[in-house]
Structure 1
Amino acid sequence: MSSAVAIIPARGGSKRIPRKNIRHFAGKPLIAYSIAAAQASGVCDRIIVSTDDDEIAEVAASYGAEVPFKRPAQLSDDFTGTGAVVKHALDWLGAEGEKPDFVCCIYATAPLISAESIASGYQQLVSRLDMQHAFSVGRFSYPVQRGLLREGEGVRMMFPEHAKTRSQDLPEVFHDAGQFYWSRLHSASAEPMFGPKSIAILLPDWRVKDIDTEEDWRHAEILYKVLQAEEPSL
């Protein structure tokens, strides 16, 4: 039987929104939503938070996540990528004699994440032996091919060749939704996350929101409260 582990990176040094991972969002610490979604998905055998911060560790544990190690300082600065953090957690598990078949990196800053989308990513990846990853995507609301750049006091088109192309004639474009990333471990070759061996799990527009500014935070809370009114179990 396949085993799966969720890794939630959550360092303490958030700059744009201080202490973002445990700041209260609609009544609960932000990280609590990612932990709860992983728990409710029913597909994660273990849910591990990787953090360098004692307070984050305490909060994560209080919501049912494991915090079995403290992330080293060299993996907790502004320049450390998520991949290195996940590898560190997997190496720790390996040293403990545990080698899961699948890993899901879940961001701690995704309060609109759903258990259903996490489970869908896992199920689709398990059923597709030719694929190595599955991750959440959202759709751009406006054709990116008609995008504009500021130039001096004016603007210019990013893709002037589409100046007269009708929007309905342009292909739909998607973006990384920044919620979860499933990977099949122990594969014969390592494929990039954004590549032909990845399954895109499309999320509805109202479940996609980056939180980088105070304005983002307020907007996300409004979206969450609307969703909660529609789905009280959130």
Structure 2
Amino acid sequence: MLEPEVLGPENEFFDMPDLFERILGDGEKANGISDAGVLAGRGPKRGFPPRERRIRRGFRHMIDGHSVLGVILARGGSKELPRKNIRDLAGKPLIAWTIEAGHESKFLDRLILSSDDDDEIMRVAEQYGCEVPSQRPAELAQNDTTSMETLLHALDQVEPYDYVALLQRTAPLRTAADIDATIARCHQNGGTACVTVTETDKPPQWMYTLWEENRLVPVMDRDEAITRRQDAPTTYVPNGAVYAAGTTWLRTHETFYTDVTIDHPMLPERSADVDTALDLAWCEVLRETKIN
């Protein structure tokens, strides 16, 4: 997950069909359900079969005539979970879940991968129909290389797009509707960055850091203690699933987090972020039980 620098303002949960209908209009209907309703999960998804996915670059979906580039960043050599990007999740490599969600997006015109690993990650991505314009140079595949550096490099490898959506490959339960809602909110806000968030399970007023001699020090200064969860304000944390911004805006700020960043809230059941073997196992549970 990208580390937040400044959290954006809180937003209320919204009705996704209403948002999509403002962007798309009612659109053609399948089984009596509009395109906006399909995006919001009210009807069957219109995915692309494998062969069509491989030539999808020829389709121009856009959003109000603005082009959108989807980017997946995947570096080899994960220390916490070796070969993480291609680990099996419900019969498919982890990265494949993000690629397929990108293919099902209503707004992405092109989906590309930036990676330094041509032996495994790039090969698997291409098998699932994700374009790989070039291999990431070694100087951008170091432990101290930032995601923003690699994202800006990826933008330089292709023709200009109006918007960019970064899809983290470690968020396999995020849906195409989440991708499109994030892009739509970004577009409605003039290209200002929009990031996906989820509600925290515990308030920050209950959190501490450990100092010398295991002394608990509150993360937040507070005048009075909050002992009941319902007394605490609702708080959100970025879940690392989708980041969207106008390309010019992003090149200017070189971060998704500013004091004008907005959010698309996602349910916790779709916000799993895979960093460890336990995270991967939890995603398996969510999929098997169809909680998400």
Name the TM tier (shorter chain).
Answer: 0.7 to 0.9
| 1:145–1:162 Cα contact (<8 Å) kept | no
| 1:111–1:224 Cα contact (<8 Å) kept | no
Is residue 2:171 matched to residue 1:171? no
Query: Secondary structure, in 3 states, of the residue corresponding to 2:196?
Result: strand
| 2:180 aligned partner, one-letter code | A
Is residue 2:137 matched to residue 1:72? yes
| 1:224 aligned partner, one-letter code | R
Partner deviation per Cα, 1:63-121 (whole Å, 9 max, x = no partner): 0100120100111111111111111111111xxxx210000111111111111010001
The aligned residue for residue 245 of structure 2 is 183
Judged with a 3 Å threshold, the aligned counterparts in structure 2 of structure 1 residues 87 and 158 are, in CA distance, closer, same or farther, namely closer
The aligned residue for residue 226 of structure 1 is 289
Distance (Å, rounded) in 2 between the aligned partners of 1:213 and 1:196: 31
| 1:106–1:181 Cα contact (<8 Å) kept | yes
Distance (Å, rounded) in 1 between the aligned partners of 2:183 and 2:221: 40
Distance (Å, rounded) in 1 between the aligned partners of 2:124 and 2:252: 37
Query: Secondary structure, in 3 states, of the residue corresponding to 2:244?
Result: strand
Distance (Å, rounded) in 2 between the aligned partners of 1:206 and 1:108: 16
Distance (Å, rounded) in 1 between the aligned partners of 2:216 and 2:248: 49
Distance (Å, rounded) in 1 between the aligned partners of 2:277 and 2:224: 35
Q: CA deviation at 1:171?
A: 1.9
Distance (Å, rounded) in 2 between the aligned partners of 1:191 and 1:87: 8
Is residue 2:206 matched to residue 1:143? no
Give unpaired runs (5+ residues) of structure 1: none
The aligned residue for residue 183 of structure 2 is 122
The aligned residue for residue 79 of structure 2 is 15
Distance (Å, rounded) in 2 between the aligned partners of 1:87 and 1:157: 37
| 1:21 aligned partner, one-letter code | N
The aligned residue for residue 193 of structure 1 is 256
| 1:13–1:77 Cα contact (<8 Å) kept | no
| 1:7–1:104 Cα contact (<8 Å) kept | yes
- TM-score, normalised to structure 1, is 0.88
| 2:106–2:180 Cα contact (<8 Å) kept | yes
The aligned residue for residue 277 of structure 2 is 214
- TM-score, normalised to structure 2, is 0.71
| 1:118–1:180 Cα contact (<8 Å) kept | yes
Distance (Å, rounded) in 2 between the aligned partners of 1:160 and 1:35: 42
Q: CA deviation at 1:60?
A: 0.2
Q: CA deviation at 1:176?
A: 1.0
- Percent identity between matched residues is 33
Describe how 1:55-94 pairs up with structure 2 within 5 A.
55-93=120-158
The aligned residue for residue 108 of structure 1 is 169
Query: Secondary structure, in 3 states, of the residue corresponding to 1:50?
Result: strand
Q: CA deviation at 1:147?
A: 1.6
| 1:173 aligned partner, one-letter code | T
Higher mean Cα deviation, 119-128 or 159-168? Answer: 159-168
Query: Secondary structure, in 3 states, of the residue corresponding to 1:2?
Result: coil
| 1:226 aligned partner, one-letter code | T
Q: Say which of 113, 131, 135 aligns to 1:49.
A: 113
Higher mean Cα deviation, 209-218 or 45-54? Answer: 209-218
Partner deviation per Cα, 1:139-163 (whole Å, 9 max, x = no partner): 1111111223445356454346355
